[in-house]
């Protein structure tokens, strides 16, 4: 009779020790991918122009640290919210959005300006293109050949839909140029950037530790 009781107590003691030492199944905080996308509205005014170089309206959409290298997909979007009509011939508005990426693995960091560029134009009596949206999940890579002198370049740019990184920062620069419009009214634009790893096999899943409680 004593031996079965001793064995049972041993099993209970083992289970208790395992329970005490096991990582929590529900961590505090939100799931980490809540930080992998960002949406911001920008009120852009013309800064510079004419003999003065145009100055950008800067901003940061999102920044993420994944903790290990991975290949990533992305989705960028830009939507016009408010701005001036070009009510007369000769009036012109150009809004250019530059998406800049900073990506890194370990101690290596690469800055990629103009990773993606969107351009909005309306002129000569056109109404403001309300809610006009541009989005993309690919970008054009640069030519593989650089040369001065304006000669023909044989290497064509290629489309890219992935990149590798452990840490990602997405910032924007927005340039506005208005010609012949009195008062230079601002343009409001909504920008979005979203990132997702191609494979999302998180190490903590094997430990039953889930920040944000996303195990369901």
Tell me the pLDDT tens digit for each residue of 189-206.
Answer: 999 999 999 987 665 556
pLDDT over 70 (residue 77): yes
Burial class (CB in 10 A: 0-12, 13-18, 19+), 101: buried
Kindly state the average pLDDT of the residues 68-96: 94
Q: DSSP string covering 171-216, please?
A: EEEEEEEEES-TT---EEEEEEEEEEES----GGGGGT-EETSTT-
Backbone angles phi, psi at 3, to 5 degrees: -60, -45
8 A C-beta contact, residue 160 and residue 141: yes
pLDDT over 60 (residue 28): no
First-last CA distance in the chain: 43
Residue 52 DSSP symbol:
B
Instruction: Extract the tokens encoding 209.
Output: 């530790």
Q: What's the pLDDT at 14?
A: 61
Tracing tokens 């409680």 back to the chain, one arrives at 213
Q: Which residue has the higher pLDDT, 142 or 83?
A: 83
How far apart CA 169 and CA 62 sit, in angstroms, is: 6
Mean pLDDT rounded to a whole number for the chain? 83
Helix (H, G, I), strand (E, B) or coil at 151: coil
pLDDT over 90 (residue 61): yes
Q: What's the pLDDT at 184?
A: 80
pLDDT over 90 (residue 7): no
Can you give the pTM of this predicted structure?
A: 0.78
Q: What's the pLDDT at 216?
A: 46
Backbone angles phi, psi at 65, to 5 degrees: -130, 110
Q: What's the pLDDT at 155?
A: 63
**Which of 72, 69, 80 has the alpha carbon at shortest distance from 194?**
72
Instruction: Extract the tokens encoding 146.
Output: 């650089």
- Return the bridge partners of 49, or none: 52
């Amino acid at each position: 009779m004593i031996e079965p009781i001793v064995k049972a107590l041993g099993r209970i003691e083992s289970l208790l020790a395992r329970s005490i030492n096991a990582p929590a199944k529900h961590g505090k905080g939100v799931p980490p991918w809540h930080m992998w996308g960002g949406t911001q509205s920008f009120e852009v005014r013309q800064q510079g122009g004419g003999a003065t170089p145009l100055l950008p309206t800067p901003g940061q959409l999102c920044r993420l640290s994944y903790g290990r290298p991975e290949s990533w997909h992305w989705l960028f979007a830009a939507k016009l919210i408010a701005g001036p009509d070009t009510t007369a011939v000769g009036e012109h508005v150009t809004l250019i959005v530059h998406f800049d990426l900073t990506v890194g693995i370990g101690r290596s960091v690469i800055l990629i300006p103009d990773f993606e560029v969107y351009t909005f134009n309306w002129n000569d009596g056109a109404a403001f293109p309300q809610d006009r949206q541009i989005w993309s999940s690919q970008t054009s890579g640069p030519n593989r050949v650089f040369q001065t002198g304006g000669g023909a370049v044989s290497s064509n740019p290629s489309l890219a839909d992935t990149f590798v990184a452990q840490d990602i920062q997405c910032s924007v620069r927005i340039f506005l140029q208005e010609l012949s419009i009195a008062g230079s009214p601002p343009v409001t634009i909504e920008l979005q950037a979203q990132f997702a790893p191609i494979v999302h096999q998180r190490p903590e899943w094997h430990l039953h530790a889930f920040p944000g409680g996303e195990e369901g």
